Amino acid sequence: MLYSGMTLHDTFASLCRTGRARLHVTQRRLAAQVGVSRGYIANIEIGRANPCLALIERIALALDLDIELVVRTPVILGGWQRDLVHARCSGYADRRLRATGWQTAREVEIVSGRSHGWIDLLAFDEATGILLVVEIKTRLDDVGAIERQMAWYERSAFRVARELGWEPRRVVGWLLVLASVEVDDSMRANREVMDRAFPVRAPEMTAMIDTPRDARPGRGIALIDPASRRRNWLIRTRADGRRTKAPYQGYADAVRRFTG
């Protein structure tokens, strides 16, 4: 519930601080448990960060907090609009992969100790045994946190894939991000880090979809436009040589267009 006079954002910041102190858990330990940086936990606790619902749930589990989100029409709490854009991107990637023969599963739940999460999209090619672990983002806020999250998902992927009846032999991680000017700017600002963390880009990823046996080692990153009907639906970033402007200015622009 909300504390009197406090927003939902401020209430969670307070709960995180007091819950961690009650259990004598350091920020560094909590960060390791939930898959983010210590600095990001510090920013949550002072109200500067805007954690997604999945991260809020992981923190709540780690700190033994009971959090209930109640939504009453017409009031919308939490990140509904953010989830709308994410859902559009996730559904789009799912349809595109299935159209080329990949088996897919969305929102695959994983549990590791006290950590609880969902893989946005798993895609499996039976002929080669390649399993794609696809993370969908609408922004690039914390690359380090994304890397840690994907590493956790990749470690868990073999087990959850077998529970789906698949027999994977190789796991490949992909990060698909909303195609926006905002994201292009983040890519340019963090080019060295992104090149190291995600060496495979849209052209190689497109080739892999059509011919999985030619998959290049390493994690891949590409942009997507959920309104596009182009055959080559994985889009290069401006940092990778794309010359055209991204279809969306940023996340807020995508929200306006999808709800307008």
Per-residue pLDDT at 80: 40
- 138-183 pLDDT tens trace: 998 888 888 888 999 999 999 999 999 999 999 999 999 999 999 9
Per-residue pLDDT at 145: 86
Residue 90, both tokens: 């996730």
Rounded (5°) CA angle 230-79-248: 30
Ramachandran quadrant class, 172 (left: phi over 0; alpha: psi -120 to 50; beta: rest)? beta
Per-residue pLDDT at 11: 79
User: Which DSSP letter does residue 101 get?
Assistant: T
- 109-135 pLDDT tens trace: 887 766 778 899 999 999 999 999 999
Beta-strand pair 103-112/130-137? unpaired
Low-confidence ranges of the chain (pLDDT < 70): 1-7, 68-82, 113-114
- Dmax over Cα atoms in the chain, in whole Å? 58
DSSP 224-252: E-TT---SS-SB--GGGT--SPPSBSSHH
Side-chain half-sphere CA neighbours of 117 within 13 A: 25
Per-residue pLDDT at 7: 64
74: CB partners within 8 A, 6+ apart: none
Per-residue pLDDT at 133: 97
- In angstroms, how far is CA 93 from the centroid of its own chain? 13
